[in-house]
Structure 1
Amino acid sequence: MSFEAWFSVVSVVVVIAALLSNRLPVELAMLGGLIANVAVGSLTLPQALAGFSHPAVVLIAALFVVAEGLSETGATSRIAAGLLGRPTSIAAAQLRLMVPVGILSGFMNNTPIVAMYMPIVSDWARKIRISPSKLFLPLSYAAIMGGRLTAIGSSSNLVILGLYRDQTPASEALSPALQFWGPAALGAPTLLLGIGFVVLTSRWLLPERRPAAASTLDARRYVVQMEVGADSPIVGKSIEAAGLRHLPGLYLSEIERGEQRIPAPGPQWILRAGDILAFAGILESVVDLRKIRGLAPATNQVDKLRPGQGDRTLVEAVVSHNSPLLGRTVRESRFRTTYNAAIVAVHRNGEQIRAKVGDIRLRAGDTLLLETHRGFVDGYRNSDDFYLVSAVAGSKPVRHEKATLALGIFVALVAAMAFSGIPPVVLGLSAAVLMVFSGCAPIGVARASVNLQVIVVIACALGMGGAIQHSGAAHYLATELLQACGALGFGPQGMLFVVILLAGIFAQALTNNGAAAVMYPVTVATAQGLGVSATPFVFVLLLGCGLSFATPIGYQTNLMVYGPGGYRFADFTRIGLPLTLLLAVTGALLAPLFFPF
């Protein structure tokens, strides 16, 4: 091999070592590897930058906007409630997630599936109090494995089957094995086995990592009063049926109905329009509470705020010792008029204040939970009235009135991807534009929703994979390894395992399409050299190109969940390597049964 070819291989090894050390941000390590390949000539500049304009990268960026539109309108909560429910264990949650994702991935590109499921799973994990790290990797793995169910489940399936049809006689090309459901012979059993493996072993092999904000120790607790709206979907339902009985981090302590007060209401208590519900809980859960359709802050001061609802957020402000608010009730202070902010709740040194907000007499050190405009933090950060002013993450009001529209765009996108011949990137961009123009994801929100770290990392991974492929390193290594195994006396069954495992290894360093392009001619030549049918070899190659579990850079969906799941490089290897070996052995054993030599 040339120096450039060797360098392309070494650069991948160095980047993997850097990621394993956890000393460099993943995007910095990947950019460094890409730049080094350009510097030594393994890649031309256009080849290095091609990843940034790759359709998959553009599609992912567009789908971040689509996902944000679903989140902004509360549609993600509806999808989560309908598809995922409220499982009672981590294993049940993983099953509820992996089975539909795996099946859906057989009929459409797995990248948009993961992109659209990510905000749903994040919101779902928080509500059912499960660590996101227990769900994001299973999400990616299910999407990858499901792509081997049909001929259209993955682009590498189309590449491999298309090449094989072109080289087979017309009569054999019409064989059911080479048609739509052909890959399911190996794809279905490996999907079931893979899901079972993840569910049974994730207790030990997947990390338990929660965001720092998820800790409830010493968390500030508030008592918040919410009113049931006249058009609320929970009117006439019991507390249990309305989903208000077991809200994580919240306790429904009292219902006020006219002059009647019902402390600690039972689960069968029927809700009516105008009921005032008092919830006690931590801040993160209060934020979730405000996103429930049909509930609104009980204070009428919120409705009088300027500007409209779309520009509002929650803010925490600590009353200072020389604030003009001291010793005055909230009502006496004319707080909304003075600050253009409404006090939603008050926290005082661990004490749960159950009085009506307007009757609370303020003291120095009180933490006020405010609903206000986004400029409040900048306007009062240096004010003598407050010690500290900080925005509450993720507290922007939900646009429930646009949820149906956002869901319609989402359903149309999924249907078009599954059944139309329009390129997915065109559909994704169209859906993103519709989300912006419809107001489901305003332009500022849409711009902020695109995760640049994910975009940069995937684009760099595509470029580095291209260096190995363009330099000839991948073809040389594949040929030499297969010839070495043949010289050692490996029979057809053994060579099946070598092919599938080698394809899996190349899929980690290249894209799955790159692995398919490199391995296909070598695989067919190996079968011909053994004097057996190439069909079982082609199908184990197809399966092997999807064994991208052992590293985060092996597949774009792994990179997409890398940051949000709080993973480290070794987390992928710990569960992905045994999963790869298990499915490789299974594929090698099953292939001759469905596709005889």
Structure 2
Amino acid sequence: MEPSAFLTLFTILFTLVMLAATRISPDVILMGALSVLVVSGVLAPADALAGFSNPGVMTIATLYVVAAGLKETGAIQWLAHRLLGQPKRLKQAQFRVLLPASGLSAFMNNTTVVAMFIPAIQEWAGRLRLPPSKLLLPLSYAAIIGGTCTLIGTSTNLVIDGLLQSEMGVGLGMFSLAWVGLPLVLVGGTFLYIFSDRLLPDRQGVLEQLEMAREYAVEVIVDGKGPLVGRSIAEAGLRHLSHGYLADIERQGRLLTAVPPDTQLSAGDVLIFIGAPECARELRRIHGLRPAGGDVHKLDIEHHRRCLVEAVIGPDFVGLGQTVRESRFRSRYQAVILSISRHGKRLPGKLGNISLQVGDTLLLETAQDFVDQYRYRKDFLLVSGLNDSTPPDFRKAPLALGILAAMVVVSASGLLSILEAALLAGGGMLMTRCVPASKARRSVDLSVLVVISASFALGAAMRETGAASQIAQWLLLADDLSPWLALVLVYILTVAFTELITNNAAAVLMFPIAVSVAEQLGVDFKPFVIAIMFAASASFMTPLGYQTNLMVLGPGGYCFTDYLRLGAPLSFVIGVTSLGLIPLVWPF
């Protein structure tokens, strides 16, 4: 091998070790590897940076905006509550999780789908008295498998399609992968339905204990025009919130205490919840509830530009010793106090009559720039915002879903490429105000885009220096190795890379190796490339291989062996099914 090939292999090996064995951010590691290849002269700067203009990478960036629109309008949550329904037993609940999660993940970012399903399933588990560990890992696995059905279902598919377009001059259609993806959903879903209850532990999630949290009382009103009127407390999903509980109901001047779960809600009911600050965030995301505080409606701030903030009163606060009403808090700070906690306990009584003291923790509804504005002011000792506390605009949920459906139809029919359709869909989300431009900008995960784009440079170096051909020779083991066995080896190596490093980086690194294997065998490269797409998505054995696996780790109370116990046999089932079908759809 040439010295440049040795340097490339050493750089890639060192990169893999750093990704697997250190906590350094993957984008930092891969940009460092890119820098080495450019400074050493292995790659010209234009070749090293070509990944940043790849159509697959740009499509992923645009789809982040589309996903933000779906999230901000509560479209996924709106769908989830209708699709999940009210199951009575564990098996029914598992089926209600597997079917919509896999279906939705085929058309939208599976990370967003899992993030929106987690609180709904936690509420489920509490109401049905089921351990969340029986439901959340199957949710992640179903979302991963569902993403293999379409080209936009997972970023890995878009990355490989971008490489096919730029390197091989071919592309895939929206539903090209469905010939293998749909059988995988059926096989994988059946496996999860039968075995997840047996293989997963009966364990509660790692939830914050209310006794140790800052405790607040939060009041909300049942909207007379909302969907909760006439439904019971249990049916409305209010019986078992993750961060609080329903204490009382105030109805037409009467206070109802210790209300049973079958109590029906009426228009104008004031519901009083007690719990951690996150309880207010949970209530904001329930369609049909609105804040009870009269001053909330006096805020001169658009509803969807508000957020929840915690602020600790400092010694220089101008209203010390005054009641909330006397301090003119709303007009002075353009914020409304929802609840007050003192020494970790909520303060009962009318908010307007409470005297403010140093150290009081206020739960506020205010503008999104409040934290930046008052973080370094002496009025407050500490100011911190609650993540994802802006209430969704459910009125625009059907519009956001319509934009998504139009994107899928236009790209699937061939009228526009996936990138063009995604650009129009992202623009549609912005123009219709489904998502503000500021949130759309923040929704784009630059670290993921940098990892993918920098990985392209490593793949290009392997191809240009001949390192990929050398690895392919080592992989083939013997000159007379059959194409199917070579396909198995490529699949297994990709799965191993995916479990150790990020799925997108694994796919990009394996792409030139797979093409070289096909060239040396004298067969079509497509089955090998398609195998990479499915193998890079088949990350079930560790919480680190795929982001959704990591997201359910805490809420499900899982440990590493739980992933291995269910994920290892699932990986085998998915692998056997994929390797059996791929050569039939894309012959050698």
Which TM-score band (shorter chain)? 0.7 to 0.9
Match of 2:116 in 1: 120
Instruction: Give the Cα–Cα distance (whole angstroms) in 2 for the partners of residues 191 and 522 of structure 1.
Output: 33
- Which residue type is aligned with residue 343 of structure 1? I
Contact persistence 1:501–1:584 (CA under 8 A): no
Supply the distance in 2 between the matched residues of 1:92 and 1:7 (Cα, whole angstroms). 55
Question: Secondary structure at the residue paired with 1:317?
Answer: strand
Q: Which runs of 5+ in 2 are unaligned?
A: 126-131, 165-169, 498-505, 555-559
Looking at structure 2, the residues matched to 444 and 183 of structure 1 have their Cα atoms a distance apart, in angstroms, of 34
- The amino acid that maps onto 1:298 is A
Question: What whole-Å deviation, never above 9, does each CA across 1:260-313 have from its counterpart, x for those lacking one?
Answer: 111122222222221111111211121110222221211111111123323322
Whether 1:425 aligns to 2:419 is yes
Separation (CA, whole Å) in 2 of partners of 1:8 and 1:95: 47
Alignment of 1:389-468 (within 5 A): 389-468=383-462
Partner of 1:61: 61
Q: CA RMSD in A?
A: 4.6
Task: Classify the secondary structure of the residue corresponding to 1:301.
Answer: helix
Shift of 1:237: 2.2
1:138 corresponds to which residue? 141
**1:230 offset after TM fit, Å?**
2.7
Does the residue aligned with 1:546 lie in a helix, a strand or coil? Answer: helix
Q: Residues 580 and 115 from structure 1, CA distance in 2 versus in 1: closer, same or farther, beyond 3 angstroms?
A: closer
Inter-CA distance 121–14: structure 2 relative to 1 (3 Å threshold) = farther
CA deviation string 1:528-561 (max 9, x = no partner): xxxxxx9xx9868744652125779xxxx96665
Tell me how far 1:198 sits from its aligned partner.
Answer: 6.6
1:245 aligns to what? 239
Q: Note the alpha carbon deviations across 1:503-547, whole angstroms, 9 max, x for none.
A: 44268545376455333334455xxxxxxxx9xx98687446521
Q: Which one is further off, 63-72 or 500-509?
A: 500-509
Q: Does 1:497 align with 2:485?
A: yes
Q: Distance in 1 between matches of 2:273 and 2:33?
A: 52
TM-score norm. by structure 1 comes to: 0.77
SS at match of 1:343: strand
Q: Which residue of 1 aligns with 2:517?
A: 519
Q: How does 1:199-214 map to 2 (within 5 A)?
A: 200=195
Deviates more, 1:354-363 or 1:219-228: 354-363
Matched, 1:73 2:73: yes
TM-score by length of 2: 0.78
Q: Distance in 2 between matches of 1:442 and 1:596?
A: 46
Q: Map 1:114-513; keep pairs closer than 5 Å.
A: 114=110, 117=113, 119-121=115-117, 124=120, 134=137, 138=141, 141-143=144-146, 145-146=148-149, 191-195=185-189, 200=195, 218-320=212-314, 323-482=317-476, 484=478, 486=480, 496-505=484-493, 508=497, 509-511=506-508
Kept after mapping to 1: 8 A contact 2:148/2:537 = no
Q: Structure 2: which amino acid aligns with 1:114?
A: N
Q: Deviations over 1:418-442 (max 9, x none)?
A: 4444211111111111111111111
Is the counterpart of residue 18 in structure 1 residue 21 in structure 2? no
| Counterpart residue number, 1:48 | 48
Mapped partners of 1:398, 1:566: distance in 2: 26
Residue of structure 2 equivalent to 1:531: none
Q: Which amino acid aligns with 2:536?
A: S
User: 1:142, CA displacement in angstroms?
Assistant: 0.8
Partner SS, residue 43 of structure 1: coil
- For 1:298 and 1:10, how far apart are their aligned partners in 2? 62
Q: Mean alpha-carbon deviation: is it higher for 377-386 or for 82-91?
A: 82-91
1:103 CA drift (Å)? 6.0
Conserved 8 A contact 1:549-1:579: no
1:209 and 1:254 map into 2 onto residues whose CA distance is 27
C-alpha spacing 1:302/1:419, structure 2 compared with 1 (3 Å): same
Cα deviation, residue 197, structure 1: 6.2
Q: Helix, strand or coil: the match of 2:50?
A: helix
SS of alignment partner, residue 484 of structure 1: coil
Rounded to whole Å, the distance in 2 between the matches of 1:479 and 1:358 is 77
Query: Per the alignment, do residues 323 and 115 of structure 1 end up closer, same or farther by CA in structure 2, a change over 3 Å counting?
Result: closer
Once the two structures are superposed, what CA deviation does each residue of 1:202-225 show, in whole Å capped at 9, x if it has no partner?
Answer: 99899x9989x9675622121111
> 1:46-85: CA deviations, max 9, x gaps?
2211111111211111111111112222223112223455
Q: Which amino acid aligns with 2:302?
A: G
Question: Secondary structure of 1:547's match?
Answer: helix
Shift of 1:395: 1.8
Provide closer, same or farther for how the CA distance between residues 7 and 327 of structure 1 changes in structure 2, counting only shifts above 3 A. same
Describe the shift of the 1:290–1:266 C-alpha distance in structure 2 as closer, same or farther (beyond 3 A): same
- Number of equivalences: 550
Query: Could you say which residue in structure 2 is the equivalent of 1:9?
Result: 9
- Report the residue type matching 1:54 in the other structure: N
Mapped contact 1:503–1:541 kept (Cα < 8 A): no
C-alpha contact (below 8 Å) 1:34/1:48 kept by paired residues:
yes
Q: CA deviation at 1:413?
A: 2.1
Q: Which has the larger radius of gyration?
A: 1
For structure 1, the residue ranges without an aligned partner over 5 or more in a row are 161-165, 167-178, 526-533
Q: Distance in 2 between matches of 1:219 and 1:231?
A: 34
Quick check: 508-517 or 36-45, which moved more? 508-517
Measured after TM superposition, the shift of residue 4 of structure 1 is 2.2
8 Å contact from structure 2 (residues 37, 43) kept in 1? yes
Q: Distance in 2 between matches of 1:77 and 1:573?
A: 26
SS at match of 1:79: helix
**Contact preservation (8 Å) 1:134, 1:202:** no
Secondary structure, aligned partner of 2:308:
strand
Question: Comparing 354-363 with 80-89, which one deviates more in the overlay?
Answer: 80-89
Overall identity of the aligned pairs, in %: 33
Q: Could you tell me how far 1:229 is from its partner in structure 2?
A: 2.2
Letter in 1 for 2:5: A
Q: Does structure 2 conserve the Cα–Cα contact (< 8 Å) formed by 1:144 and 1:546?
A: no
CA distance in 1, matches of 2:441, 2:163: 34
Shift of 1:481: 3.6
Are the equivalent residues in 1 in contact too, given 2:531–2:579 (CA < 8 A)? Answer: no
Change in Cα spacing, 1:103 to 1:248, as seen in structure 2 (3 Å) is: closer
Shift in CA distance, 587/366, structure 1 to aligned 2, threshold 3 Å: closer
Matches within 5 A, 1:17-36: 17-36=17-36
Contact 1:323 1:386 in 2 (8 A): yes
Cα offset, 1:458, TM superposition: 1.2
SS where residue 221 of structure 2 aligns? strand
Distance 1:241 1:339, change over 3 A: same
Q: Which amino acid aligns with 2:231?
A: K
The letter of the residue matching 1:223 is A
Assess if the C-alpha contact under 8 Å between 2:511 and 2:532 holds in 1. Answer: no
Tell me the amino acid that sits aligned with residue 24 of structure 1. Answer: I
